[in-house]
Amino acid sequence: EQRNVVLTRIASVREVVLGAPLKLLLRHLASKTVAPNVDKLVALVHRPNESFFLAPQADKVTVVYPMRFQDSIDIVLATSFLQEFVEARRTAALNNAPSCMWSPVPPLELKGVNADALDANAGFVTFVVFPRHVEGRKLDKTVWSLLTFHAYVSYHVKCSEGFMHTRMRRRVESLIQRPWTVLNPMQRS
């Protein structure tokens, strides 16, 4: 049990280091203020050469993720997944979740950002976080969800790709096992 506690703390280092600025901005949101000495747009680096952006205001924080993938198949799967993700958010069961939007072009919040930072081949995902999403115990969960969003999408894209490969292998195996009979085109039955 103590080993699990130590491993959990080690795994939480990323949350503590990367999450500190995010947590600060969201704490101020909970009190409906903007953190002092903060730019209108804050970039948080979450992977090498990749950032996501926060636009803090007193009544909301807009979080924008430029989604980048290396493989062309991953790009297609991620784009489809993100569009479905946005649609799923519109269901009644998720009314209390932050609003979510997907766009193939950068949202207006990213106006003036360096073009290299906006190189997103799978579009842009935008979440709008309101004070109700960060009050009380919800703060830590919101920080964790925002920090791990790209990993969440990547995981589901890779799982989808694996699932499709498995189905294709099964289909090929079934075709190989099927006895084939060659019919003369003139002998159709």
Q: Is the pLDDT of residue 184 over 70?
A: no
Cα–Cα distance for residue pair 63/145, rounded to 1 Å: 12
pTM to 2 decimals?
0.80
What value does the mean pLDDT take over residues 11-31? 86
Q: Is the pLDDT of residue 183 over 80?
A: no
Q: Is the pLDDT of residue 72 over 60?
A: yes
Q: Where are the domains of the chain?
A: 1-178
User: Is 81 within 8 Å of 153 (Cβ atoms)?
Assistant: yes
Cα–Cα distance for residue pair 42/170, rounded to 1 Å: 47
Q: What is the pLDDT of residues 77-87, one digit of tens each?
A: 999 999 998 88
| Structural domain 1-178, CATH architecture | 2-Layer Sandwich (3.30)
What value does the mean pLDDT take over residues 93-109? 87
CB crowding 1-10: b at 16 or more within 10 Å, else e: eeeeeeeeee
CB crowding 37-52: b at 16 or more within 10 Å, else e: eeeebbbbebeeebbb
Q: Minimal CA–CA distance to 44: which of 76, 62, 21, 66?
A: 21
Q: What is the pLDDT of residues 112-136, one digit of tens each?
A: 888 888 888 899 999 999 999 999 8
